Structure 1
Amino acid sequence: MRSPTAALLAALILTVPSAVACAPGSGSPTGGPPPTPAPRQAERSASLLRQTPAERARTIASLRQVDDLPLYEMTYHGGYDIEAPLTDEELGRGEDGWACSLFHRGAEFGRNFDWDPNPAMVVRADPPDGHASLSVVDVSYLLGGTGPADLKDAADRRRLGHAVLSPFDGMNDQGLAVGLAQTPDAELPARTPGRARVSSVRIMRLVLDRAATVEEALTLMRRYDVDFTGGPQVHYLLADRSGRSAVVEYGQGRMHVIDDRVLTNITMAGTDRRARLADTRYRTLTEGVGTRADALGLLRRVAQPHTRWSVVYDLKAGTARIVTGQRWSRVHTFAIAAAASPVSSPG
C-alpha cells in the first residue's frame, strides 16, 4: 500500500498552520521556529481549537512516548469546534484507505488497525461541552511522513497537539465505542441543503463527544452529511455497554444501519450472512465472539502482516488494552481518567 498523504486524513489538517501541514516529501520544519503561517490559515486554526495558553501548555506537557512503534500518549486540554465547515484541504484527500477488523462482545470492543508502519497516539479528551474519551490516532499525516516525532522539537509537539480531532477508534466515559474500516465504494447520499458536512473521521469525534448510546449515535449521524470526497469510503461499528451494536454504512444513496457486531472490509448493506461469512476475518471473529476466548487473542487470529495496533476497549471499566506492531507479549493498559503512566504487562 501507499503511505497516506497529509491531506488524506484531513479532519485536522485545517487546524494546522500551512507551514506545518506538509505532505510527505514536501518539506517540513525540523528545527527552529516554523515560518509564520498565512493569516487565513492561522485564523482557521484559531477558530477550530479553543485553548487558553495554559491549556496549550498542559497539552504539550502531557506528550510522551510510550513504546518504540512509536506509540505516543497525550491528554488534550481545552475545547474545539468540530462543526466548522470543511476546507479545500479536507476535500483534497488521497485515494488510500484503511483495512481493519472490529468486533463487539458484551462490554468489549476490539479492533485491529491494519495499515502502513506509522506512529500512533493514545489521546485523552475531556471537552467542556462533551463526554470524556480515549481514542487512538495514526499521526503520520501530522508529522509530514512516517518517521517518529521528536518530542523535544516545538514543531512536532504542535503537530501532535492536534491529534484530538481525528480518532480512528475510541470509547467515551458513557461506554460508547466507535471504529472505522474501509469499504468498497458505493453510491453516496446526495447532499442535504442546509445540513452540516463533516469528514469521515470528524463524525467519530462528534459521536464520542455527544452520544452516550448507539441509538443516540445513530440519531446524531443522521443529522450530518459525511463527506468522502477523494476517498477512501469507510463504514463504522458502534457499540455501547448495554450490549447494543450496529454498523453504519453509506451506499445506494442513503445511510444504512445494519444489526451486526463484526466489521471488516466487505460491503454489509444488502449482503446476506452467507456472503459475509465468505470473508475469512469476518467469519473468524463472528465465530469467536460467541466464545470466551481472550479478546486480544481474537484480534491476533485475524491480524495481518501490516497490523499496526490492536486495542480492546472495556466499555464498563473505561480502560483499553493496546498491543502495537503485533508484539503480543507487551500489553499497554490506559484509562479514560489519566494516570501517572500507562501500565505495561505481559499479554
Structure 2
Amino acid sequence: MRTPAVAVLSALALAASVACAPTAAGPPPKPSPAAPQGILRQTADEIARTSASMRVLDDLPLYEMTYYGSYDAEAPLTDAELARKGDGWACSLFHRPGEFGRNFDWQPNPAMVVHNRPPGGYASISLVDVSYLFYPRIKPKLTKAEDRRRLAHAVLIPFDGMNEKGLAIGLAQAPDAELPAPGAGRTTVSGVRIIRLILDRAATVPEAIELMRRYDLDFTGGPQLHYLIADRAGRSAVVEYAEGRMNVIDDRYLTNITMTGADRATRMADRRYRLLAEGGGTEAMKLLRRVAQPHTQWSIVYDLDDMTARIITAQRWNRVRDLRLSAAD
C-alpha cells in the first residue's frame, strides 16, 4: 500500500511541484545569526530550541516537539529540502459541542505531537505521521542531528489539529475525488499542507472554508482526501472534492464514504458512521474505541474550550496521555 518515498512526499507532505514557550523576564536576548534558509525559517537559537524540545513520549513511537521560528507555509517540501544538512487512511472523526475526536487508521508508523506558535498566526497543537519525512522502515533517532532536522519539518504536515481559537480539523481518505481545475493565480498545496494553513490562519469554520477556496489542492500519488472542520461556536462541516468542485456538506461525522450527494440512509449504512451518529451520549474516547480498527494508530480527543487534548496510541486504551496547546503549560 505504501508508494515510494519520493512520490509520497510529493503528494502528501508537500505542495505540488507546479506550483513557544514564554521567555523568562529580563532584557531581550540578542538575535542569533540566521541559519541557512530553506522552507524552515529559523535562527540558530530557534533551531537549537526546537531540537532541544524533541522527546519520546511512548514506544509507538510517539514524539513531541515545540517548533520555534517561522516557515514558508506555501512552498513545496522536497526530498532535497528534507536532506539538507543539519546539526489505508481509513479514519473516523466526529464533532460535538466542545469536542473533536478522531481515530487515525493507517500503518504502524512513528507519530509526533507538534506544538506551534507561528509569527502572526494562531498557536496550535497537531498530530503528524512522521514516516512521511523519512524513507520506508526508517525510524528517526533523536540522537542524530540530521534526523532532528527532518523531524522539524513535521510542523508542515499535520494530519489533524486544533488551534488557540478552538478551530479543529482532521482528514480522512475519500473513495475518490475530482478536484477543480487549477485557478489563475492560486497556489497549489498538498492535502496536508492545507491543514497547516487553516490552523495558522482560520478561527472559525467559515474562515477555514473561505481559505480553502483560495488554494488549489493536489492529491497526486496518494490517497484522495476529505476533511472535517469544527469550531468552538459549535459549527462543523465536511469539505469534499467531487464533480470538479469543492463541496461543503453540513455534517459532524466523517469516515471513508463519499459524502457528496449521500442522503442520511446512505450515510447510516456505513457501520462506523452509524456508530458515531448514534453515540451522542457516549464518552468521547469510548466512542473512538467503538469505531477503532486493527490498524488504528492514534485516537485523540481535542477539547475546543480549554485547549487540551487526550491521546491514546496503538489502542492502549488504559494509557491516556494528556496534552495542552503549549508544551510549556
Q: How far apart, CA to CA, are the structure 1 residues paired with 2:218 and 2:80? A: 13
Cα-to-partner distance string for 1:235-274 (whole Å, 9 max, x where unaligned): 0000001110000000101000000000000000011110
Deviations 1:47-70 (A, max 9, x none): 421111100000000000000011
Matched letter for residue 321 of structure 2? H
* Aligned counterpart, 1:301: 290
Query: CA contact under 8 A between 1:4 and 1:141: conserved in structure 2?
Result: no
Q: Structure 1's 108 and 134: CA in aligned 2 closer, same or farther, altered over 3 A? A: same
Alignment gaps of 5+ in structure 1:
15-44, 91-96, 341-347
Superposed displacement of residue 337, structure 1: 1.8
State how far apart, in whole Å, the 1-side matches of 2:6 and 2:114 are.
19
Match runs of 1:166-185 below 5 Å: 166-185=157-176
Q: How many residues align?
A: 302
Given that residues 9 and 133 in structure 2 are in contact (C-alpha distance below 8 angstroms), is that contact kept between their aligned partners in structure 1? Answer: no
TM, length-normalised to structure 2: 0.87
Question: Contact 2:226–2:238 at 8 Å: present in 1 too?
Answer: yes
Counterpart in the other structure of 1:134? 125
Task: Report how far residue 149 of structure 1 moved.
Answer: 2.1
Q: Is the 8 A contact 1:171 1:313 kept in 2?
A: yes
Aligned position for 1:19 = none
- Whether the 8 Å contact between 1:9 and 1:201 is mirrored in structure 2 is no
Q: Is the 8 A contact 1:7 1:13 kept in 2?
A: no
Cα–Cα, structure 1 residues 103 and 89, in superposed 2: closer, same or farther, change >3 Å? farther
Pair 88,74 (structure 1): closer, same or farther in 2 beyond 3 Å? closer
1:228 aligns with 2:222: no
Quick one: which of 287, 306, 314 aligns to 2:303? 314
1:118 correspondence with 2:121 = no
| SS, match of residue 5 in structure 2 | coil
What's 2:323 paired with?
A: 334
For 2:130, the aligned partner's letter is V
Aligned to 1:54: 45
Give the alignment partner of residue 149 of structure 1, picking from 119, 140, 147.
140
Partner of residue 260, structure 1:
251
SS in structure 2 at match of 1:46? coil
Q: Deviations over 1:109-128 (max 9, x none)?
A: 00000001100000000001
Instruction: Point out where structure 2 has 5 or more consecutive residues left out of the alignment.
Output: 16-35, 82-87
CA drift of 1:150 comes to: 1.4
TM-score (norm 1): 0.83
The residue that corresponds to 1:105 in the other structure is 96
- Distance in 1 separating the partners of 2:62 and 2:78: 29
Kept in 1: contact 2:122–2:201 (CA 8 A): yes
From the superposition, tell whether residues 73 and 86 of structure 1 become closer, same or farther in structure 2 (CA, over 3 Å): closer
Judge conservation of contact 1:86–1:197 (CA < 8 Å) in 2. no
**What do the CA deviations read for 1:33-55 (whole angstroms, capped 9, x no partner)?**
xxxxxxxxxxxx92421111100
Shift in CA distance, 3/186, structure 1 to aligned 2, threshold 3 Å: closer
Contact 2:14/2:189 (8 A) holds in 1: no
Q: Quick check: 1:237 aligned with 2:203?
A: no
What's the C-alpha RMSD, in Å, of the aligned pairs? 2.0
Tell me the SS of whatever aligns to 1:247.
Answer: strand
* 1:283-294 alignment runs, 5 A limit: 283-288=274-279, 290-291=280-281, 293-294=282-283
Partner of 1:163: 154
Contact 2:177-2:225 within 8 A present in 1 as well: no
Question: Displacement, 1:232?
Answer: 1.5
Q: Alignment partner for residue 56 of structure 2, among 65, 76, 83?
A: 65
Work out the CA distance in 1 between the residues paired with 2:76 and 2:14.
12
Query: Percent of aligned positions with the same letter in both sequences?
Result: 68
User: Could you tell me how far 1:3 is from its partner in structure 2?
Assistant: 6.8
Aligned in 2, Cα 1:89/1:188: closer, same or farther, shift over 3 Å? farther
For 2:177 and 2:14, how far apart are their aligned partners in 1?
Answer: 26
Structure-2 change in CA distance of 1:13 and 1:85 (3 Å): closer
Check conservation: 2:9, 2:79, Cα contact below 8 A.
no
Select between 138-147 and 46-55 the one with higher mean Cα deviation: 138-147
In 1, Cα distance between the equivalents of 2:5 and 2:134? 10
- The counterpart of 1:81, out of the listed 58, 72, 84, is 72
